[in-house]
Copies of this chain bind each other. A is one copy, B any other.
């Protein structure tokens, strides 16, 4: 089943990937159509096996839905995304829940800036 190929690519990637990146990657091994990739991806997201995140560039990024909560530092120059696990937002979530009654189920956090590499090159 082609789903396995797609899931494998996601599983083996340290970063979140776009549908196109996944498509390119899977295409190296088998014939596949972009629609199939999207359809499968939505399927995996529905089953909570994969998480989809829409970034400021309006593109969907997919990553393994493990419980390790990650966020990304995105360089506005080279567009590389560096994962970080420094996320104390659970605290903020609890506070919001307590003070507003809003029942939070998820959050997305995205940092933008310039990575060390790029700021070095700029000099």
Contacts and interface: CB of A to CB of B under 8 A. Distances in A.
Interface of A: 53-58, 60, 73, 75-76, 82, 84, 86-89, 91-93, 95-96, 99-116, 119
A81 to B, nearest CB: 11
A113 B91 CA distance: 16
Number of copies: 2
Contacts of A55: 54
Contacts of A86: 92, 95-96, 99
A94 B116 CA distance: 15
A82 B102 contact: yes
29 contacts: A54-B55, A58-B60, A73-B96, A73-B102, A76-B105, A82-B100, A86-B95, A86-B96, A86-B99, A88-B91, A89-B109, A96-B111, A102-B111, A102-B113, A102-B114, A102-B116, A103-B113, A103-B115, A103-B119, A104-B111, A105-B113, A105-B114, A106-B111, A106-B112, A108-B108, A108-B109, A108-B110, A108-B112, A109-B110
